[in-house]
Amino acid sequence: MSRYDVFIIGGGPIGLACGIAAQKANLNYIIVEKGCLVNSLYNYPVNMTFFSTSERLEIGNVPFMSLNPKPKRAEALEYYRRVAKDKQLNIHLFEKVESVQRIDDKTYEIRTTKQNYISTNIIVATGFYDIPQLLHVPGEDLPKVKHYYDDPHYYAFQKVIVVGASNSSVDAALETWRKGAEVTMVIRKDTIGKSVKYWVKPDIENRIKEGSIKACFNSNITAVHERTVDIQTPDGMVTLENDFVLALTGYHPDFNLLKSLHITLSGDEKQCPLYDGETMETNQRGIYLAGVVCGGFDTHKLFIENSRVHAEMIISDIKKKI
């Protein structure tokens, strides 16, 4: 069985940053990723533009050059692939971590879909993009209800309901409307989200004002049917004809994985995993958290730009203990 100082679960930007830091510290490490390299970014909408400027997405001191200050998804994929190649990171792709068992005070056994490993330390960098927040309404399991949005062409000339008012929802509403979809947004609150990219916000507000994109504010979907959707609005129940529902209401970390590792979660509704703010170590000795997984349900708290520092914090703590 292969034995490591550091076993990193997740090959997203922060998992890669942890690998780079471990390599720099001459630690024996491996990154295991269940999908392709930077799998979450690969699954973002094809035309997506980051809200961060490219230098804030850099890891391992490798410069990120992009055509415009804010890079697009394709440029980010190019960048992280180049980083992984340039640094010759030790990474296994398309291999999912299924369980972790403590063997003794200093050793964990990790079981994946392909093999077993032994490691002294584990870094959980599994992000939050794998599990969507559900609407919990009847009909949500119909194939026309999607929790991920990729390309607008698919929705041309269709009646589309976009649920939510955050960046993802606003991008999807504008893009599909521009490709000929008839778009209605269903928004729980009374405005478009405050954190919507500053250069996109006026666009969506003006499209709503002019009536090109319809918006039901203070409203919730109550049921999805084959051809219609029921919406509770301040003026009562409304039923709209509908072909597709894009329920872009957010995502959350894999709490089952965290619980299986016996990591304590905060008792409140955010369910933040608890960790030492200086070392990122959890209540389980040798198990660390890195990246956006740390936020629990509060997925707007951490991004690539403010969580890439976790890598150095964790590796310097591990180094101290060896």
Ligand X SMILES: Cc1cc2nc3c(=O)[nH]c(=O)nc-3n(C[C@H](O)[C@H](O)[C@H](O)COP(=O)(O)OP(=O)(O)OC[C@H]3O[C@@H](n4cnc5c(N)ncnc54)[C@H](O)[C@@H]3O)c2cc1C
Binding site for ligand X (CB under 6 A): 9-15, 32-35, 38-41, 44, 48, 50-52, 96-97, 125-127, 129-130, 168, 254, 257, 291-292, 303-305
Query: What is the smallest separation between the CB atom of 39 and ligand X, expressed in angstroms?
Result: 3
Dihedral pair phi/psi, residue 288, rounded to 5°? -115, 160
Query: What is the smallest separation between the CB atom of 168 and ligand X, expressed in angstroms?
Result: 5
Cα dist from 250 to 70, 130, 132, 253, 299, whole Å: 22, 10, 6, 11, 8
Please state, in angstroms and rounded to a whole number, the distance separating the CA atoms of residues 306 and 295.
12
- Residue 246 or 292 with smaller CB distance to ligand X: 292
Q: What is the Rg, in whole angstroms, of the alpha carbon atoms belonging to the chain?
A: 21
CA angle 71, 75, 78 (to 5 degrees): 150
Q: Cα 237 to the chain's mean position, in Å?
A: 33
Strand, coil or helix: what is 22?
Answer: helix
Query: What is the smallest separation between the CB atom of 202 and ligand X, expressed in angstroms?
Result: 19
Query: What is the smallest separation between the CB atom of 230 and ligand X, expressed in angstroms?
Result: 28
Strands 29-32 and 2-9: parallel
- Residue 237 or 309 with smaller CB distance to ligand X: 309
User: Token pair for residue 129?
Assistant: 């993009």
- Residue 14 or 245 with smaller CB distance to ligand X: 14
- Tokens 């077993």, located at residue: 116
Query: What is the smallest separation between the CB atom of 226 and ligand X, expressed in angstroms?
Result: 29
Query: What is the smallest separation between the CB atom of 31 and ligand X, expressed in angstroms?
Result: 9
Query: What is the smallest separation between the CB atom of 235 and ligand X, expressed in angstroms?
Result: 32
CA angle 239, 243, 244 (to 5 degrees): 100
- Residue 150 or 243 with smaller CB distance to ligand X: 150
- Residue 81 or 227 with smaller CB distance to ligand X: 81
- Residue 169 or 242 with smaller CB distance to ligand X: 169
Helix (H) or strand (E) holding 104: strand 97-104
Nearest C-alpha neighbor of 78 from the set 45, 127, 41: 41
Cβ atoms of 122 and 99 within 8 Å: the answer is no
- Residue 97 or 165 with smaller CB distance to ligand X: 97
Query: What is the smallest separation between the CB atom of 15 and ligand X, expressed in angstroms?
Result: 5
- Residue 29 or 303 with smaller CB distance to ligand X: 303
Please state, in angstroms and rounded to a whole number, the distance separating the CA atoms of residues 129 and 113.
20
Please state, in angstroms and rounded to a whole number, the distance separating the CA atoms of residues 166 and 159.
20
